[in-house]
Structure 1
């Protein structure tokens, strides 16, 4: 375990950005408690995308919104459970998040996650992923883990390559709040034969994807796909390499939301030295969400593995 807590690690950042990231960390710690106490049954409602909501979805979203409001440094907020632009009255940054990604697998007792993207200013829509100041995800499993991609100093703005990626582990609450211990600094993605084949049903009709899957099976890649986006991405960072591939076609359309999932995770992966693409022709961070419901294919992970997946990421009519 590396030394240093979260607050100490963020002390060199522009103060408002540090406040936003600390608010995210506090929200993650609260969500960990929510998951132990909230039911996993449906609440009888759906979000604006038509996804059925669980009690935990609604409770986790409320926690994040309130923490961001309290920090005073968030101008605009938007979440997958509340896909609208909500003014929070602060100044400095805007945040988009998925408060409980993978909640449909909670009943199986599997790990789930949360995803956060932080942009400077008041705008979220129309901003490309490259413009993020920071991004983060959390894994709720045997341990609660927070992974941050953040600038080394200041407010950032230089894109993911000017950021560092750190992993923190939630400890027991002490006094008024939870403690986060730094587990790994400068997390990096290398080249490992680990393959997370999402949207696998598409391989039945998508010839390039079927060839990729067949080749990786023949080459004895380790196949790891849990049905949870965040745990699958974290497995790649934990192992030091691998690739997550989620292509789309007409019969298996895109499910991942650009604003709440694709752009923040692509930022984290590229900050760790990995690569991303949504179309096989360039980084997914070139994308901008023109609407809250914008969706995309994506491949994330080791640069050579993502490059190998580019053929099956090209748009299919």
Structure 2
């Protein structure tokens, strides 16, 4: 079956037919959790709970509800040994066997009150645990976008039976849309990021006050008539790059504006998805996939997108370290 035929007729179940059984269970559980979160968000309160998670972030009722949905789905699948979430940043035994999953149940909760698109992020490692492991060890990663449509984008290693169709690539990135029936329909069978596009999302703009290279980068984008596409939500901003044919998301730091993005729950999984789609990632030192986790709360700068556009951001990324 050609890639075009896959996109027209495929389902999530069909896309996972060649995937190792336990990993297939994990990815199916992630999809089930996203459907559950999407349903929950229709009525979940966006008010604060009055509590903060262990990382110091104020929690919304919606954050807690989404976290519960994901843990329940992962626990039920029988293939997850350990899981860790941004809301509960420790290793939690889930009783399964085969994989460990780290996730941000509701990325962008600060903009959910405005009814803007938000997301969820997932990283999957074979075996037990996260600390001491590199981002490149992930066997799969995914994100969900909760907007007019609920979308799930999955990056995974190519199975042996798929190598010919994928032209020898090690990973494939696929997009699925949640149907009213609750089924997941394959909408794009092979998501790719082109080399360059004049489109940017400039996060952490406060850093331009004492990161001169970042200030010059932003001015350069404007002088070259780049299009600004920035929502304040990491997942929808990255998805715009994958959906609209390129661009760059840039989140450098400065002495007064340190990194906020968590490596385990945000930067590592999204770096895998970006690079698997043919783009680039950078954390100020090199590919974000070469990062190794030292602690659950480890944070870092991040640049994602078209390879040529990421290369233009390196002075700003380096200046912030």
- Measured against the shorter chain, the TM-score band is over 0.9
2:33 maps to what in 1?
Answer: 27
Give the Å deviation of 1:150. Answer: 1.1
184 and 52 in structure 1: CA distance in 2 versus 1, 3 angstrom threshold: same
Q: Secondary structure at the match of 2:8?
A: coil
Counterpart of 2:287 in structure 1 is 283
- CA-to-partner distance for each residue in 1:131-158, whole Å, 9 max, x for gaps? 00000000000000000001221699xx
Given candidates 169, 177, 187, the residue that maps to 2:177 is: 169
Who is 1:309 aligned against? 313
Q: CA deviation at 1:316?
A: 3.5
1:199 paired residue number? 204
1:105-184 mapped onto 2 (5 Å cutoff): 105-153=111-159, 162-173=170-181, 178-184=182-188
Q: 1:72-101 CA deviation, whole Å, 9 max, x = no partner?
A: 000110000000110111111100000000
1:151–1:162 CA contact under 8 A, matched in 2: yes
Q: Which runs of structure 2 are paired with 1:203-214 in the superposition (5 Å)?
A: 203-214=208-219
Q: Given the superposition, is the C-alpha separation of residues 155 and 197 from structure 1 closer, same or farther in structure 2, using an over 3 Å criterion?
A: farther
The answer as to whether partners of 1:14 and 1:155 remain within 8 angstroms in 2 is no
List runs of 5+ in structure 1 lacking aligned partners. Answer: none
Cα deviation digits, residues 233-286 of structure 1 (max 9, x gap): 00000011100000012211100000000000000000000000101x420101
TM-score, normalised on structure 2?
0.94
Report SS of the residue matched to 1:254: coil
Tell me the matched-pair count: 308
What residue is the counterpart of 1:84 in the other structure?
Answer: 90
For 2:198, what is the secondary structure of its paired residue? strand
* Cα distance in 2 for residues equivalent to 1:253 and 1:154: 42
CA distance in 2, matches of 1:50, 1:278: 23
Following the alignment from structure 1 to structure 2, what is the Cα–Cα distance between the partners of residues 192 and 145? 23
Shift of 1:2: 2.4
Where structure 2 has 5 or more consecutive residues not aligned to the other structure, the ranges are: 1-6, 163-168
Q: Which of the residues 62, 69, 74 maps onto 1:56?
A: 62
1:155–1:60 CA distance, 2 compared to 1 (3 A): farther
The Cα offsets for residues 202-226 of structure 1, whole Å up to 9 and x where unpaired, read as 1121100011100010000011111
Moved over 4 A (4+): none
Contact 1:42 1:55 in 2 (8 A): yes
Give the conservation status (yes or no) of the 8 Å contact 2:251–2:303: yes
8 Å contact from structure 1 (residues 17, 155) kept in 2: no
Task: Render the CA deviation track for 1:283-310: whole Å, top value 9, x for unaligned.
Answer: 0101112111000001000001111101
**Does 2:222 match 1:222?**
no
The 3-state SS of whatever aligns with 2:129 is coil
Whether the aligned pair in 2 keeps the contact of 1:266 and 1:284 (CA below 8 Å) is: yes
> Post-superposition shift, 1:315?
5.1
